[in-house]
């Protein structure tokens, strides 16, 4: 097959919108999609101080590579969850990824903070729920404490469409109201954005491989039984039957998101956690309850 744009031998096929591309034009196609997403949703500007959550995987690595290539001011944050060899390997990849694109990397180690890893927490909550709450808190508080005004994550189209499907099936209205490419900042909540919102995992992998970005490919050993991969599988099967299902599903959701209107600052009466001072629905925030804290976590870089 021939590249749609130059007629040379094609290296990559994009199922939707059904294009064969050479490597050179695939890079152009992919980067333009990211640039359009950033501009369409007014995610950030060259004046913003941007923190990107780096986990060692392909998504955050590609996001950091492209944002640096576009000329944005970014720094990386790696959260070591204390999951033995998996966390150590993830850290090595994250450090190399940041070094390769010449951006600073900060590290927060859960075991150093609390003398235990994420899988050693005694709680009625599932480990993945503890992990998610911990990540959200640490990323936001680190950004807030160190004067970043934008937090970037590597969530992609597969992630977002599966999250929306899961929350629709379970009618989690509050979660649906918060889903989207950008969650505006308010008070001590930092603006959160997803530049890879409209690209698939397959496209991200192809881009990483073409550019030569190295990344960890193993899944977290604690994620067995997690439900989101099941929804991804369902959507992948639908995509095989009718290409474009994921992007059309997510665009339809965004057109109708007003039905689940959500205001981060007004959805409930937010207080200041009496332990850490961060926003909380109760006297003590979820993070401080999970980790049994009696004083704030210090994340400011000196």
Q: What is the pLDDT of residue 270?
A: 82
Nearest to 79 by CA among 110, 35, 48: 110
- The answer to whether the predicted template modeling score (pTM) of the entire model surpasses 0.85 is yes
Q: What is the pLDDT of residue 266?
A: 53
Judge whether 204 and 217 are in contact, CB under 8 Å: no
Rounded CA separation 222/84 (Å) = 11
In 3-state terms the chain splits into helix, strand, coil percentages (rounded to 5) of 45, 15, 40
Identify whether 30 is part of a domain.
no
- In terms of DSSP H, where are the helices of 46-200? 58-69, 84-100, 110-114, 127-145, 157-169, 173-178
Q: What is the pLDDT of residue 262?
A: 62
Q: What is the pLDDT of residue 268?
A: 57
Q: What is the pLDDT of residue 227?
A: 85
The per-residue pLDDT for range 233-286, each reduced to its tens digit, is 999 999 999 999 999 999 999 999 988 876 555 555 689 999 999 999 899 999
Q: How many CB atoms lie within 10 A of CB 61?
A: 30
Identify whether 28 is part of a domain.
no
Judge whether 132 and 166 are in contact, CB under 8 Å: no
- Give the structural domain span for 117: 38-218+225-266
Number of alpha carbons in the 13 Å side-chain half-sphere of residue 187: 12
Contacts of residue 15, Cβ cutoff 8 Å, sequence gap at least 6: 202, 239, 243
Helix (H/G/I), strand (E/B), else coil: 111: helix
Judge whether 74 and 99 are in contact, CB under 8 Å: no
Identify whether 136 is part of a domain.
yes
Q: What is the pLDDT of residue 3?
A: 97
Q: How many CB atoms lie within 10 A of CB 299?
A: 18
Tell me the Cα Rg of the chain: 20
Rounded CA separation 120/81 (Å) = 10
Identify whether 25 is part of a domain.
no
- 78 — phi, psi (to 5°)? -105, 125
Q: What is the DSSP letter of 282?
A: S
Q: How many CB atoms lie within 10 A of CB 218?
A: 11
Identify whether 191 is part of a domain.
yes
Identify whether 294 is part of a domain.
no
Helix 157-169 to helix 228-241 angle, to the nearest 10 degrees? 110
Total domains in the fold of the chain: 1
Identify whether 292 is part of a domain.
no
Identify whether 297 is part of a domain.
no
Counting as low any pLDDT under 50, the low residues of the chain are: none
Helix (H/G/I), strand (E/B), else coil: 77: strand
Q: What is the CATH number of the domain that holds 68?
A: 3.40.50.620
Rounded CA separation 73/51 (Å) = 9
Q: What is the pLDDT of residue 108?
A: 98
Q: How many CB atoms lie within 10 A of CB 214?
A: 15
């Amino acid at each position: 097959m021939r590249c749609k744009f130059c007629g040379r031998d094609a290296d990559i096929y994009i199922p939707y919108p059904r294009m064969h591309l050479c490597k050179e034009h695939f890079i152009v196609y992919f980067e333009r999609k990211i640039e359009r997403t950033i501009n369409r949703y007014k995610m950030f500007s060259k004046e913003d101080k941007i923190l990107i959550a780096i986990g060692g995987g392909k998504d955050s690595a590609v996001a950091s590579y492209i944002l640096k290539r576009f000329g944005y001011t970014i720094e990386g944050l790696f959260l070591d969850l204390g999951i033995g060899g998996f966390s150590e390997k993830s850290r090595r990849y994250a450090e190399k990824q940041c070094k390769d694109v010449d951006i600073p990397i900060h590290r927060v180690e859960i075991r150093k903070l609390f003398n235990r890893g994420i899988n050693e927490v005694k709680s009625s909550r599932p480990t993945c729920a503890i992990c998610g709450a911990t990540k959200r808190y640490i990323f936001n508080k680190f950004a807030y404490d160190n004067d970043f005004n934008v937090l970037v994550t590597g969530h992609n189209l597969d992630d977002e469409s599966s999250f929306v499907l899961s929350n629709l099936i379970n009618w989690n209205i509050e979660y649906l109201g918060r889903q989207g490419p950008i969650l505006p900042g308010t008070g001590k909540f930092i603006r959160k954005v997803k530049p890879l919102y409209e690209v698939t995992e397959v496209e991200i992998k192809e881009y990483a491989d073409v550019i030569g970005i190295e990344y960890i490919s193993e899944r977290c050993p604690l994620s067995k039984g997690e439900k989101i991969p099941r929804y991804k599988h369902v959507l992948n099967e639908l995509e095989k039957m009718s290409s474009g299902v994921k992007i059309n599903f997510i665009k339809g959701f965004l057109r109708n998101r007003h039905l689940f209107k959500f205001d981060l600052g007004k959805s409930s009466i937010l207080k200041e956690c009496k332990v850490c001072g961060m926003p909380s629905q109760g006297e003590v925030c979820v993070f401080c309850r999970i980790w049994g804290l009696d004083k704030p976590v210090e994340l400011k870089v000196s």
